[in-house]
Structure 1
Amino acid sequence: MNSSQRESVRQKDANARRILDEAARRRRARKALEALEQDNFHDDPHANLVLSKKIPKFEEALDGKQTRRRKSKNFENFKQRFRKSFAQLLEEEQVNRPEPPNYTSALVPPSKFPERHFCAVCGFPCNYTCLSCGARYCSVKCLGTHQDTPCLH
């Protein structure tokens, strides 16, 4: 076997690794946020259930005595049943309050302090960046966790 035909595993891995530019990293982060937003809101699957009066209630005491509770949970039931997604709340605010100040018109000046970076795995302050996807990590352990999860390497 010729030495020019042999290739080290480390070099092969480095050549196969895909390094993204800043625009591709931003697109990837935006898609990840959109996926999280999609997963974040779901309609309550139990909203239309009709409860039978024969079923024992969970708040009944174990000794058979029932404790009387005021019906203060009506508002909680209302909130759970008619929950709105963030997009619905923004649309409702634009209809009700089109003139500033509102959520879409709120602006803040840039910070006087340097940007702080946090580990994508554990949330601690960090100094290192993944070469392929740009995610931040703070230690070798967090780097291993990051590489075990879907990274673009």
Structure 2
Amino acid sequence: MTTRESGRLKDGSQRRILDEAARRRRARKALEALEQDNFHDDPHANLVMSKKAPKFEESLDSNKNKDRKRRTRSSEYFKQRFRKNFPILLEEEQALCPDGPNYLTVQAPPSKLPERQLCAVCGFPAPYTCIPCGARYCSIKCLGTHQDTRCLKWTA
């Protein structure tokens, strides 16, 4: 009679186990990489709509009256034309109230409740921890996804 054993523990000697400092470094580097990936201007900001394309907010009756009236620019036009990116908005806020609380200086006190432990794969509450990397997971399915795609892929 053969004994059953877990498939995930077969290569236990080959897996690295990270200490808490290495886990924090790994998480910080992953967040920095995400921030670098997410920081860009809107790629669709310079697209110009064709004049022949129908506008959904207009009805057929308004098209008849449109030829008679003088065309005015809508507020949406100016919102798109004079659009500001995040760094410009931060500079303007800093200039308007340098002493008061602003985006860069506002802080909330630390929570009195314990930190929530959420699944690294799906975001649900996670009672289990991956032994090698310390990531949280909530089910066997999420553990499989984590091991296939995330576990120790981007180590510090």
TM tier relative to shorter chain: 0.5 to 0.7
Instruction: Among all aligned residue pairs of Structure 1 and Structure 2, give the percentage whose two residues are the same amino acid.
Output: 65
Q: 1:38 corresponds to which letter in structure 2? A: Q
User: Judging changes above 3 Å, is the alpha-carbon distance between structure 1 residues 92 and 148 closer, same or farther for their aligned structure 2 residues?
Assistant: farther
What are structure 2's unaligned runs of at least 5 residues? 1-6
Report if aligned partners of 2:41, 2:85 keep a CA contact under 8 Å in 1: no
- Write the distance in 2 (CA, Å) between the matches of 1:13 and 1:49: 53
CA 66–31 in structure 1, closer or farther in 2 if over 3 Å, else same:
farther
Q: CA deviation at 1:76?
A: 3.9
Name stretches of at least 5 consecutive residues in structure 1 with no aligned partner: 1-8
| TM-score using structure 1 length | 0.67
RMSD (Å), alpha carbons:
3.5
Give 1:138 shift: 0.9
Q: How many residues align?
A: 140
The residue aligned with 1:152 is 152
Q: Which structure has the higher relative contact order (CA within 8 Å, separation 6+)?
A: 2
**Post-superposition offset of 1:142:** 0.9
TM norm structure 2:
0.66
**CA separation in 1, counterparts of 2:31 and 2:150?**
15
Q: 1:50-129 maps to which residues of 2 (within 5 A)?
A: 50-53=48-51, 55-59=52-56, 66=60, 68=62, 74-80=74-80, 82-85=83-86, 87-129=87-129
Conserved in 2, the CA contact under 8 Å of 1:19 and 1:132? yes
